[in-house]
Structure 1
Protein backbone atom coordinates (compact mmCIF):
# COMPACT_ATOMS: atom_id res chain seq x y z
CA UNK A 1 0.00 0.00 0.00
CA UNK A 2 2.96 2.34 0.53
CA UNK A 3 3.65 2.43 -3.25
CA UNK A 4 0.03 3.44 -3.95
CA UNK A 5 0.11 6.32 -1.48
CA UNK A 6 3.60 7.57 -2.31
CA UNK A 7 2.61 9.68 -5.36
CA UNK A 8 0.30 12.67 -5.65
CA UNK A 9 -0.44 15.70 -3.48
CA UNK A 10 -0.56 15.80 0.32
CA UNK A 11 -4.36 16.19 0.21
CA UNK A 12 -4.73 13.09 -1.96
CA UNK A 13 -2.51 11.04 0.35
CA UNK A 14 -4.58 12.15 3.37
CA UNK A 15 -7.85 11.09 1.74
CA UNK A 16 -6.38 7.73 0.68
CA UNK A 17 -5.05 7.02 4.17
CA UNK A 18 -8.43 7.87 5.70
CA UNK A 19 -10.17 5.43 3.34
CA UNK A 20 -7.65 2.70 4.22
CA UNK A 21 -8.14 3.29 7.97
CA UNK A 22 -11.93 3.13 7.63
CA UNK A 23 -11.65 -0.12 5.65
CA UNK A 24 -9.44 -1.68 8.32
CA UNK A 25 -11.88 -0.72 11.05
CA UNK A 26 -14.81 -2.29 9.14
CA UNK A 27 -12.79 -5.49 8.60
CA UNK A 28 -12.03 -5.72 12.33
CA UNK A 29 -15.72 -5.34 13.20
CA UNK A 30 -16.66 -8.04 10.68
CA UNK A 31 -14.12 -10.47 12.17
CA UNK A 32 -15.44 -9.83 15.70
CA UNK A 33 -19.05 -10.50 14.65
CA UNK A 34 -18.08 -13.69 12.82
CA UNK A 35 -16.12 -14.96 15.83
CA UNK A 36 -19.00 -14.41 18.23
CA UNK A 37 -21.27 -16.63 16.12
CA UNK A 38 -19.15 -19.79 16.24
CA UNK A 39 -20.09 -22.95 18.11
CA UNK A 40 -17.24 -24.70 19.92
CA UNK A 41 -18.00 -25.47 23.53
CA UNK A 42 -20.87 -23.02 23.58
CA UNK A 43 -21.42 -19.42 24.68
CA UNK A 44 -22.82 -19.17 28.19
CA UNK A 45 -25.40 -16.70 29.37
CA UNK A 46 -25.97 -16.80 33.12
CA UNK A 47 -29.25 -14.96 33.41
CA UNK A 48 -31.82 -13.49 35.73
CA UNK A 49 -32.93 -40.55 33.18
CA UNK A 50 -33.56 -40.29 29.56
CA UNK A 51 -33.65 -37.93 26.66
CA UNK A 52 -37.11 -37.16 25.35
CA UNK A 53 -38.66 -34.99 22.67
CA UNK A 54 -41.04 -32.45 24.11
CA UNK A 55 -44.60 -31.91 22.97
CA UNK A 56 -45.39 -28.53 21.47
CA UNK A 57 -43.09 -25.61 20.80
CA UNK A 58 -42.26 -22.24 22.31
CA UNK A 59 -42.14 -18.96 20.40
CA UNK A 60 -38.74 -17.32 20.30
CA UNK A 61 -38.72 -14.56 22.96
CA UNK A 62 -36.12 -12.46 21.15
CA UNK A 63 -35.57 -10.99 17.69
CA UNK A 64 -34.19 -12.91 14.72
CA UNK A 65 -30.41 -13.26 14.38
CA UNK A 66 -28.39 -10.96 12.14
CA UNK A 67 -27.35 -12.36 8.73
CA UNK A 68 -23.71 -12.59 9.92
CA UNK A 69 -24.30 -14.52 13.17
CA UNK A 70 -25.85 -17.80 14.33
CA UNK A 71 -26.14 -16.48 17.88
CA UNK A 72 -29.47 -15.25 19.25
CA UNK A 73 -29.86 -14.56 22.94
CA UNK A 74 -33.14 -15.70 24.52
CA UNK A 75 -34.97 -15.16 27.78
CA UNK A 76 -34.33 -18.62 29.22
CA UNK A 77 -36.69 -18.20 32.20
CA UNK A 78 -39.57 -17.20 29.93
CA UNK A 79 -38.74 -20.07 27.58
CA UNK A 80 -39.00 -22.60 30.42
CA UNK A 81 -42.19 -21.16 31.89
CA UNK A 82 -43.99 -21.37 28.53
CA UNK A 83 -42.78 -24.91 27.76
CA UNK A 84 -45.41 -27.58 28.57
CA UNK A 85 -42.67 -30.22 28.65
CA UNK A 86 -41.06 -28.65 31.74
CA UNK A 87 -42.42 -30.26 34.90
CA UNK A 88 -44.39 -28.37 37.52
CA UNK A 89 -41.70 -29.16 40.10
CA UNK A 90 -39.02 -27.44 38.00
CA UNK A 91 -41.25 -24.46 37.22
CA UNK A 92 -41.76 -23.91 40.96
CA UNK A 93 -38.03 -23.22 41.24
CA UNK A 94 -38.09 -20.55 38.51
CA UNK A 95 -37.92 -17.62 40.92
CA UNK A 96 -35.03 -15.31 41.83
CA UNK A 97 -32.57 -16.58 44.42
CA UNK A 98 -31.69 -12.95 45.16
CA UNK A 99 -32.57 -9.79 43.28
CA UNK A 100 -32.89 -10.73 39.61
CA UNK A 101 -30.56 -13.72 39.89
CA UNK A 102 -32.47 -16.82 38.71
CA UNK A 103 -31.12 -20.37 39.18
CA UNK A 104 -30.89 -20.76 35.40
CA UNK A 105 -27.97 -20.89 32.98
CA UNK A 106 -28.28 -20.75 29.18
CA UNK A 107 -25.49 -21.94 26.89
CA UNK A 108 -25.49 -21.45 23.11
CA UNK A 109 -23.87 -23.77 20.59
CA UNK A 110 -24.31 -25.92 17.49
CA UNK A 111 -25.75 -29.25 18.61
CA UNK A 112 -28.29 -29.98 15.87
CA UNK A 113 -26.80 -28.32 12.78
CA UNK A 114 -29.51 -25.70 12.48
CA UNK A 115 -29.16 -22.20 11.00
CA UNK A 116 -29.34 -20.69 14.51
CA UNK A 117 -27.37 -21.90 17.53
CA UNK A 118 -29.24 -24.23 19.86
CA UNK A 119 -29.95 -23.24 23.47
CA UNK A 120 -28.94 -25.52 26.35
CA UNK A 121 -30.65 -24.55 29.63
CA UNK A 122 -29.70 -25.87 33.07
CA UNK A 123 -31.85 -25.28 36.17
CA UNK A 124 -30.78 -25.79 39.77
CA UNK A 125 -32.15 -25.18 43.27
CA UNK A 126 -31.26 -21.95 45.04
CA UNK A 127 -28.87 -22.46 47.93
CA UNK A 128 -27.59 -25.99 47.42
CA UNK A 129 -27.22 -25.54 43.63
CA UNK A 130 -28.36 -29.07 42.86
CA UNK A 131 -29.26 -29.45 39.19
CA UNK A 132 -32.93 -30.37 38.75
CA UNK A 133 -33.45 -30.03 35.01
CA UNK A 134 -31.61 -29.67 31.72
CA UNK A 135 -33.13 -28.91 28.31
CA UNK A 136 -32.11 -28.29 24.70
CA UNK A 137 -34.11 -25.99 22.44
CA UNK A 138 -33.77 -25.96 18.66
CA UNK A 139 -34.88 -23.07 16.47
CA UNK A 140 -37.34 -24.17 13.79
CA UNK A 141 -38.45 -21.28 11.59
CA UNK A 142 -38.36 -18.81 14.46
CA UNK A 143 -39.97 -21.10 17.05
CA UNK A 144 -38.01 -22.94 19.72
CA UNK A 145 -38.76 -26.64 20.01
CA UNK A 146 -37.76 -28.70 23.04
CA UNK A 147 -35.69 -31.58 21.61
CA UNK A 148 -34.16 -32.88 24.84
CA UNK A 149 -34.96 -32.91 28.55
CA UNK A 150 -33.63 -34.64 31.64
CA UNK A 151 -35.22 -34.00 35.03
CA UNK A 152 -33.85 -36.89 37.09
CA UNK A 153 -32.00 -34.79 39.65
CA UNK A 154 -29.13 -34.22 40.28
CA UNK A 155 -28.38 -33.54 36.62
CA UNK A 156 -26.31 -31.06 34.63
CA UNK A 157 -25.43 -30.76 30.93
CA UNK A 158 -22.71 -29.14 28.84
CA UNK A 159 -21.94 -28.57 25.16
CA UNK A 160 -18.78 -30.41 24.09
CA UNK A 161 -18.01 -29.43 20.51
CA UNK A 162 -21.15 -30.53 18.65
CA UNK A 163 -22.18 -33.09 21.28
CA UNK A 164 -24.29 -32.93 24.42
CA UNK A 165 -22.75 -34.23 27.64
CA UNK A 166 -25.14 -35.04 30.50
CA UNK A 167 -23.83 -35.73 34.00
CA UNK A 168 -26.04 -37.47 36.57
CA UNK A 169 -24.98 -38.10 40.15
CA UNK A 170 -25.91 -41.51 41.54
CA UNK A 171 -26.64 -42.26 45.19
CA UNK A 172 -26.51 -45.62 46.91
CA UNK A 173 -28.99 -46.35 49.69
CA UNK A 174 -26.86 -45.02 52.55
CA UNK A 175 -25.33 -42.03 50.74
CA UNK A 176 -25.78 -38.58 52.34
CA UNK A 177 -27.09 -35.82 50.07
CA UNK A 178 -23.68 -34.14 49.93
CA UNK A 179 -21.75 -37.30 49.06
CA UNK A 180 -23.01 -39.40 46.14
CA UNK A 181 -21.23 -42.66 45.34
CA UNK A 182 -20.63 -41.95 41.67
CA UNK A 183 -21.69 -40.03 38.61
CA UNK A 184 -22.76 -41.22 35.18
CA UNK A 185 -21.63 -39.16 32.18
CA UNK A 186 -23.61 -39.70 28.96
CA UNK A 187 -22.65 -38.26 25.58
CA UNK A 188 -25.39 -37.64 23.01
CA UNK A 189 -25.06 -36.89 19.30
CA UNK A 190 -27.80 -35.43 17.06
CA UNK A 191 -28.79 -38.03 14.49
CA UNK A 192 -31.88 -38.48 12.31
CA UNK A 193 -33.78 -35.68 14.04
CA UNK A 194 -33.12 -36.69 17.66
CA UNK A 195 -30.40 -37.10 20.25
CA UNK A 196 -28.91 -40.58 20.30
CA UNK A 197 -26.62 -41.89 23.02
CA UNK A 198 -23.06 -42.27 21.72
CA UNK A 199 -21.08 -43.11 24.85
CA UNK A 200 -21.38 -43.49 28.61
CA UNK A 201 -18.98 -43.88 31.50
CA UNK A 202 -19.01 -43.68 35.28
CA UNK A 203 -16.82 -41.82 37.75
CA UNK A 204 -16.69 -43.46 41.18
CA UNK A 205 -16.03 -41.18 44.14
CA UNK A 206 -13.66 -41.98 46.95
CA UNK A 207 -15.54 -42.61 50.19
CA UNK A 208 -12.82 -40.83 52.21
CA UNK A 209 -11.69 -37.84 50.20
CA UNK A 210 -14.66 -37.31 47.91
CA UNK A 211 -12.54 -37.24 44.77
CA UNK A 212 -13.63 -39.09 41.66
CA UNK A 213 -11.82 -42.28 40.76
CA UNK A 214 -10.83 -42.96 37.13
CA UNK A 215 -13.78 -43.38 34.80
CA UNK A 216 -15.07 -46.86 34.16
CA UNK A 217 -16.48 -47.28 30.65
CA UNK A 218 -19.60 -49.38 30.19
Structure 2
Protein backbone atom coordinates (compact mmCIF):
# COMPACT_ATOMS: atom_id res chain seq x y z
CA UNK A 1 0.00 0.00 0.00
CA UNK A 2 1.35 3.42 -0.89
CA UNK A 3 1.96 5.82 1.99
CA UNK A 4 -0.02 8.99 1.30
CA UNK A 5 0.26 10.67 4.70
CA UNK A 6 2.45 13.60 3.52
CA UNK A 7 0.30 14.03 0.41
CA UNK A 8 -2.98 14.10 2.34
CA UNK A 9 -1.54 16.63 4.76
CA UNK A 10 -0.41 18.85 1.91
CA UNK A 11 -3.80 18.67 0.21
CA UNK A 12 -5.44 19.59 3.49
CA UNK A 13 -3.18 22.62 3.72
CA UNK A 14 -4.13 23.69 0.22
CA UNK A 15 -7.81 23.28 1.03
CA UNK A 16 -7.18 25.58 3.98
CA UNK A 17 -5.67 28.08 1.55
CA UNK A 18 -8.87 28.01 -0.47
CA UNK A 19 -10.97 28.95 2.55
CA UNK A 20 -8.87 31.32 4.62
CA UNK A 21 -5.54 32.08 2.98
CA UNK A 22 -3.46 30.42 5.74
CA UNK A 23 -0.58 32.86 5.28
CA UNK A 24 -0.02 32.26 1.57
CA UNK A 25 -0.36 34.50 -1.48
CA UNK A 26 -3.54 32.77 -2.67
CA UNK A 27 -6.31 35.11 -1.57
CA UNK A 28 -10.07 35.00 -1.14
CA UNK A 29 -12.61 32.25 -0.45
CA UNK A 30 -13.21 29.93 -3.39
CA UNK A 31 -16.54 28.28 -4.08
CA UNK A 32 -16.99 24.75 -5.33
CA UNK A 33 -17.34 23.99 -9.02
CA UNK A 34 -16.61 21.16 -11.46
CA UNK A 35 -13.01 20.67 -12.49
CA UNK A 36 -12.18 21.12 -16.19
CA UNK A 37 -11.60 18.07 -18.35
CA UNK A 38 -8.15 17.31 -19.72
CA UNK A 39 -7.59 17.72 -23.44
CA UNK A 40 -4.77 16.13 -25.43
CA UNK A 41 -2.02 18.57 -26.36
CA UNK A 42 -1.27 18.92 -30.05
CA UNK A 43 2.29 18.49 -31.28
CA UNK A 44 3.96 20.41 -34.11
CA UNK A 45 4.34 18.28 -37.25
CA UNK A 46 7.57 16.31 -37.10
CA UNK A 47 8.17 17.03 -33.40
CA UNK A 48 10.69 14.57 -31.99
CA UNK A 49 9.36 12.57 -29.05
CA UNK A 50 12.09 11.84 -26.45
CA UNK A 51 12.38 8.08 -26.09
CA UNK A 52 12.05 8.24 -22.31
CA UNK A 53 8.76 10.16 -22.56
CA UNK A 54 7.04 7.03 -23.87
CA UNK A 55 8.84 4.58 -21.57
CA UNK A 56 7.25 4.75 -18.09
CA UNK A 57 9.69 2.20 -16.68
CA UNK A 58 12.77 4.22 -17.65
CA UNK A 59 11.08 7.48 -16.66
CA UNK A 60 10.11 6.18 -13.21
CA UNK A 61 13.60 4.77 -12.76
CA UNK A 62 15.18 8.15 -13.51
CA UNK A 63 12.86 9.96 -11.07
CA UNK A 64 13.63 7.42 -8.34
CA UNK A 65 17.36 8.08 -8.83
CA UNK A 66 16.92 11.84 -8.58
CA UNK A 67 17.72 12.82 -5.00
CA UNK A 68 16.27 16.30 -5.57
CA UNK A 69 12.82 14.63 -5.61
CA UNK A 70 11.49 14.20 -2.07
CA UNK A 71 12.26 10.84 -0.49
CA UNK A 72 8.58 10.00 0.13
CA UNK A 73 7.64 10.51 -3.52
CA UNK A 74 10.60 8.45 -4.76
CA UNK A 75 9.91 5.63 -2.33
CA UNK A 76 6.19 5.49 -3.15
CA UNK A 77 6.63 5.64 -6.93
CA UNK A 78 5.46 2.16 -7.95
CA UNK A 79 2.97 0.69 -10.45
CA UNK A 80 -0.70 1.04 -9.51
CA UNK A 81 -3.47 -1.52 -9.36
CA UNK A 82 -4.05 -4.98 -7.92
CA UNK A 83 -2.81 -6.58 -11.14
CA UNK A 84 -0.04 -4.06 -11.65
CA UNK A 85 2.42 -4.15 -14.51
CA UNK A 86 5.62 -2.25 -15.18
CA UNK A 87 3.74 0.25 -17.33
CA UNK A 88 1.17 1.25 -14.71
CA UNK A 89 3.19 3.99 -13.04
CA UNK A 90 1.25 7.05 -11.83
CA UNK A 91 3.19 9.51 -13.96
CA UNK A 92 3.20 11.16 -17.36
CA UNK A 93 5.53 13.38 -19.36
CA UNK A 94 5.04 16.42 -21.56
CA UNK A 95 7.93 17.77 -23.59
CA UNK A 96 9.09 20.80 -25.54
CA UNK A 97 11.87 23.33 -25.99
CA UNK A 98 11.78 25.30 -22.75
CA UNK A 99 15.47 25.83 -21.90
CA UNK A 100 17.37 25.60 -25.22
CA UNK A 101 19.18 22.48 -24.01
CA UNK A 102 20.59 19.67 -26.14
CA UNK A 103 17.17 18.11 -26.68
CA UNK A 104 13.50 18.51 -25.74
CA UNK A 105 12.90 19.28 -22.09
CA UNK A 106 10.71 16.88 -20.10
CA UNK A 107 7.89 18.01 -17.82
CA UNK A 108 7.21 15.04 -15.55
CA UNK A 109 4.09 14.80 -13.39
CA UNK A 110 3.76 12.33 -10.51
CA UNK A 111 0.26 11.55 -9.25
CA UNK A 112 -1.46 9.36 -6.70
CA UNK A 113 -2.98 6.08 -7.84
CA UNK A 114 -6.75 5.97 -8.27
CA UNK A 115 -7.76 9.63 -8.11
CA UNK A 116 -4.76 10.89 -10.09
CA UNK A 117 -4.01 13.75 -7.68
CA UNK A 118 -0.87 15.58 -8.79
CA UNK A 119 1.77 15.46 -6.05
CA UNK A 120 4.83 16.67 -7.94
CA UNK A 121 5.77 18.44 -11.20
CA UNK A 122 9.36 18.54 -12.47
CA UNK A 123 11.27 19.85 -15.48
CA UNK A 124 14.26 17.89 -16.74
CA UNK A 125 16.78 19.60 -19.05
CA UNK A 126 19.03 17.56 -21.34
CA UNK A 127 22.72 18.41 -21.52
CA UNK A 128 25.25 16.02 -23.02
CA UNK A 129 22.75 13.17 -23.30
CA UNK A 130 21.80 13.32 -19.60
CA UNK A 131 18.88 14.92 -17.78
CA UNK A 132 19.05 17.30 -14.85
CA UNK A 133 16.07 18.53 -12.84
CA UNK A 134 15.88 22.33 -13.14
CA UNK A 135 12.41 22.94 -11.69
CA UNK A 136 10.37 21.19 -9.01
CA UNK A 137 6.97 21.90 -7.46
CA UNK A 138 5.80 19.45 -4.79
CA UNK A 139 2.81 21.45 -3.51
CA UNK A 140 -0.21 19.28 -4.38
CA UNK A 141 -2.51 19.30 -6.20
CA UNK A 142 -0.12 20.34 -8.97
CA UNK A 143 0.26 19.68 -12.69
CA UNK A 144 2.83 20.95 -15.20
CA UNK A 145 2.74 21.20 -18.99
CA UNK A 146 4.36 22.84 -21.99
CA UNK A 147 2.02 25.53 -23.30
CA UNK A 148 3.01 27.77 -26.19
CA UNK A 149 6.71 27.08 -25.62
CA UNK A 150 6.45 28.04 -21.96
CA UNK A 151 6.13 26.11 -18.71
CA UNK A 152 2.68 26.21 -17.14
CA UNK A 153 2.16 25.05 -13.56
CA UNK A 154 -1.42 24.67 -12.34
CA UNK A 155 -2.53 24.24 -8.72
CA UNK A 156 -6.09 23.12 -8.15
CA UNK A 157 -7.78 24.84 -5.20
CA UNK A 158 -10.21 23.07 -2.87
CA UNK A 159 -12.42 23.91 0.05
CA UNK A 160 -12.04 21.62 3.03
CA UNK A 161 -15.18 19.67 2.04
CA UNK A 162 -14.51 19.44 -1.71
CA UNK A 163 -14.21 16.05 -3.39
CA UNK A 164 -11.12 15.50 -5.54
CA UNK A 165 -13.24 15.60 -8.71
CA UNK A 166 -14.67 19.03 -7.84
CA UNK A 167 -12.31 21.93 -7.37
CA UNK A 168 -13.20 25.48 -6.36
CA UNK A 169 -10.83 26.87 -8.97
CA UNK A 170 -7.25 26.81 -10.12
CA UNK A 171 -4.16 28.97 -9.97
CA UNK A 172 -2.05 28.92 -13.13
CA UNK A 173 1.50 30.28 -13.31
CA UNK A 174 3.58 30.67 -16.49
CA UNK A 175 7.39 30.47 -16.44
CA UNK A 176 10.15 31.21 -18.97
CA UNK A 177 13.83 30.25 -18.84
CA UNK A 178 16.17 33.20 -18.19
CA UNK A 179 19.82 33.22 -17.09
CA UNK A 180 19.78 29.59 -15.97
CA UNK A 181 16.50 29.73 -14.00
CA UNK A 182 12.78 29.67 -14.58
CA UNK A 183 11.14 33.04 -13.91
CA UNK A 184 7.41 33.54 -13.41
CA UNK A 185 6.01 35.92 -16.04
CA UNK A 186 2.24 35.46 -15.62
CA UNK A 187 -0.21 34.20 -13.03
CA UNK A 188 -3.98 33.98 -12.92
CA UNK A 189 -6.86 32.46 -10.98
CA UNK A 190 -10.01 30.87 -12.46
CA UNK A 191 -13.12 30.61 -10.29
CA UNK A 192 -15.08 27.56 -11.45
CA UNK A 193 -18.20 28.74 -9.62
CA UNK A 194 -18.49 31.73 -11.95
CA UNK A 195 -21.08 31.54 -14.72
CA UNK A 196 -18.36 32.05 -17.34
CA UNK A 197 -15.02 31.28 -15.62
CA UNK A 198 -12.24 33.48 -16.96
CA UNK A 199 -8.64 33.64 -15.72
CA UNK A 200 -8.08 36.81 -13.71
CA UNK A 201 -4.49 38.14 -13.48
CA UNK A 202 -2.74 38.03 -10.12
CA UNK A 203 0.65 39.38 -8.97
CA UNK A 204 3.69 37.42 -10.15
CA UNK A 205 6.89 36.63 -8.28
CA UNK A 206 9.97 38.53 -9.46
CA UNK A 207 12.42 36.07 -7.88
CA UNK A 208 13.81 33.22 -10.04
CA UNK A 209 12.41 29.81 -9.19
CA UNK A 210 15.00 27.94 -7.09
CA UNK A 211 17.08 25.32 -8.87
CA UNK A 212 16.71 21.83 -7.35
CA UNK A 213 19.92 20.27 -6.04
CA UNK A 214 19.98 17.68 -8.80
CA UNK A 215 22.78 15.88 -10.61
CA UNK A 216 22.97 14.81 -14.25
CA UNK A 217 21.06 11.55 -14.72
CA UNK A 218 21.45 9.00 -17.48
CA UNK A 219 17.99 8.12 -18.88
CA UNK A 220 19.02 4.42 -18.93
CA UNK A 221 16.67 3.29 -21.66
CA UNK A 222 16.10 -0.42 -22.45
CA UNK A 223 19.30 -2.35 -23.01
CA UNK A 224 21.24 -0.62 -20.22
CA UNK A 225 21.53 -1.45 -16.55
CA UNK A 226 19.38 0.47 -14.09
CA UNK A 227 20.54 0.81 -10.46
CA UNK A 228 17.97 -0.18 -7.88
CA UNK A 229 16.53 2.87 -6.08
CA UNK A 230 17.16 1.07 -2.79
CA UNK A 231 20.66 -0.19 -3.62
CA UNK A 232 23.30 0.34 -0.93
CA UNK A 233 27.05 0.05 -0.69
CA UNK A 234 26.66 -3.47 0.69
CA UNK A 235 26.37 -4.99 -2.76
CA UNK A 236 25.97 -4.36 -6.48
CA UNK A 237 22.63 -3.14 -7.84
CA UNK A 238 20.64 -5.62 -9.93
CA UNK A 239 20.07 -4.97 -13.60
CA UNK A 240 16.65 -4.19 -14.98
CA UNK A 241 14.89 -6.54 -17.36
CA UNK A 242 14.45 -4.80 -20.73
CA UNK A 243 11.06 -3.10 -21.07
CA UNK A 244 8.47 -4.64 -23.43
CA UNK A 245 8.36 -3.55 -27.03
CA UNK A 246 6.46 -0.41 -28.00
CA UNK A 247 3.78 -2.64 -29.53
CA UNK A 248 2.76 -3.87 -26.08
CA UNK A 249 3.68 -0.88 -23.92
CA UNK A 250 1.12 1.83 -23.30
CA UNK A 251 2.08 5.47 -23.11
CA UNK A 252 1.52 7.35 -19.84
CA UNK A 253 -1.89 8.97 -19.61
CA UNK A 254 -2.74 12.47 -18.46
CA UNK A 255 -3.52 13.07 -14.78
CA UNK A 256 -7.05 12.14 -13.83
CA UNK A 257 -9.43 14.69 -12.43
CA UNK A 258 -8.18 17.57 -14.63
User: Under TM normalisation by the shorter chain, which class is it?
Assistant: 0.5 to 0.7
**Which position in structure 2 is the counterpart of 1:149?**
136
Q: Which has the higher contact order (CA 8 A, sep 6+)?
A: 2
Residues 67-103 of structure 1 show CA distances to partners (whole Å, capped at 9, x for unaligned) of xxxxxxx921111011111112211331111212111
| Match of residue 63, structure 2, among 80, 93, 111 | 80
Q: Which shows bigger deviation, 141-150 or 123-132?
A: 141-150
| Match of residue 206, structure 1, among 193, 200, 203 | 193
| Match of residue 48, structure 2, among 24, 29, 37 | 37
Distance in 2 (alpha carbons) for counterparts of 1:110 and 1:36: 10
Q: How many residue pairs get matched? A: 154
Residues 48-71 of structure 1 show CA distances to partners (whole Å, capped at 9, x for unaligned) of 3xxxxxxxxxxxxxxxxxxxxxxx
Residues 135-160 of structure 1 show CA distances to partners (whole Å, capped at 9, x for unaligned) of 01111223311100001011001101
The structure with more strand, counted as a fraction of residues? 1
Q: CA 1:212/1:203 → structure 2, altered by over 3 Å: closer, same or farther? A: farther
| Match of residue 216, structure 1, among 200, 217, 227 | 200
Q: Which runs of 5+ in 1 are unaligned?
A: 1-33, 49-73
**Which position in structure 2 is the counterpart of 1:96?**
79
Residues 22-58 of structure 1 show CA distances to partners (whole Å, capped at 9, x for unaligned) of xxxxxxxxxxxx92438xxx9994543xxxxxxxxxx
Larger of the two Rg values belongs to structure: 1
Q: Which runs of 5+ in 2 are unaligned?
A: 1-44, 203-258
Asked if the contact 1:44–1:105 (Cα under 8 Å) also holds between the matched residues in 2, the reply is no
- RMSD over aligned Cα atoms: 2.6
In the TM superposition, 1:126-141 aligns within 5 A as 126-141=113-128
Distance in 2 (alpha carbons) for counterparts of 1:194 and 1:89: 26
Asked if the contact 1:157–1:164 (Cα under 8 Å) also holds between the matched residues in 2, the reply is yes
- Does the residue aligned with 1:89 lie in a helix, a strand or coil? helix
**Which position in structure 2 is the counterpart of 1:106?**
93
- Does the residue aligned with 2:114 lie in a helix, a strand or coil? coil
Distance in 1 (alpha carbons) for counterparts of 2:55 and 2:126: 20
In the TM superposition, 1:35-74 aligns within 5 A as 35-37=46-48, 45=53, 47-48=55-56
User: With structure 2 as the length reference, what TM-score do the two structures score?
Assistant: 0.54
The structure with more helix, counted as a fraction of residues? 1
